[in-house]
Chains A and B, each alone.
Chain A
């Protein structure tokens, strides 16, 4: 009983300390997506460069691909853009660009100025498809497998570390299967 008197408060203190310490390294803005492991929402969107042509989720069946949600008005998209350009040059995985709540001309101008890393670009003018994908902070990047299942979601700008350590290994693994 005597031991409990000082060991119990100490134990409670250490547990709280542990929780707070772990909390220091977690980003509250990163909300885990419930869509991981679920089929990518079906969409049919007009292409950025050829407005009269569309791209649907079904068109991408059979290959591993990345969906990069960006916008010309999005500041942190400029941060990740050079990485996407490099990725396109390496030709490892097709990246589809989704211009989220963007005007067509703005999007086209932005790609002309900063380089176009996308195999194809589509426009989600009213943000409806963004809602279906649970997008809440641009940029976001989804890894989608051959069967059309979302396997990973990067919230916020891509980083060299995230690409090298998480996304590209996952892409390679998915491409093998």
Chain B
């Protein structure tokens, strides 16, 4: 009986410690993608600002109260705006932010491809493929 109680107790302690670790890890991950509004280039996890402390406490309370990560994010966005998220949502006002770089990359690739294409065509026009301008000139001289 004693052994059974003891092992039950041990199991309880272990499980509560485990769930605390899991919660800590979850909060840490969440706080790492939230911005502190006071020191704007720090995450909520890194910042020592009093507001960041309060918000970490708030986030923890919400999490232990059974709120999901998305619900917690929504809670903060409702108060501070999308700015609290280090990963901004994809919506019409952020299309340029999300897709602009890819558009620039595509434009660059197209320009590069066009340039290379034009150069090889110019080379092809001035003689047989693989022949340099000097070779063309030499052949012309020989033909004379």
Contact = CB atoms under 8 A, between A and B. Distances in A.
B is bound to A: yes
Interface of A: 28-29, 31-35, 101, 126-127, 131-134, 136-137
A31 B81 contact: yes
B54 interface: yes
B40 A34 contact: no
A136 B81 contact: no
A126 B83 CA distance: 24
B77 A136 contact: no
19 contacts: A31-B37, A31-B81, A31-B83, A32-B83, A33-B80, A33-B81, A34-B80, A34-B81, A35-B79, A127-B51, A127-B54, A131-B55, A132-B79, A133-B79, A134-B80, A136-B37, A136-B38, A136-B80, A137-B37
Contacts of A137: 37-38
Interface of B: 37-38, 40, 50-51, 54-55, 58, 77-83
Given A34-B80, A34-B81, A131-B79, 19 more contacts: A29-B40, A31-B37, A31-B80, A31-B81, A32-B81, A33-B80, A34-B77, A34-B82, A101-B50, A127-B51, A127-B54, A131-B54, A134-B81, A136-B37, A136-B38, A136-B51, A136-B80, A137-B37, A137-B38
Contacts of A131: 54-55, 58, 79
A135 to B, nearest CB: 8
A131 B77 CA distance: 11
Contacts of B37: 31, 136-137
Contacts of B81: 31-34, 134
A134 B79 contact: yes
A-B complex: 10 closest residue pairs judged by Cβ atoms = A136-B37, A134-B79, A34-B81, A31-B83, A134-B80, A127-B54, A136-B51, A31-B81, A136-B38, A131-B58
Nearest to A36: B81
Nearest to B114: A1
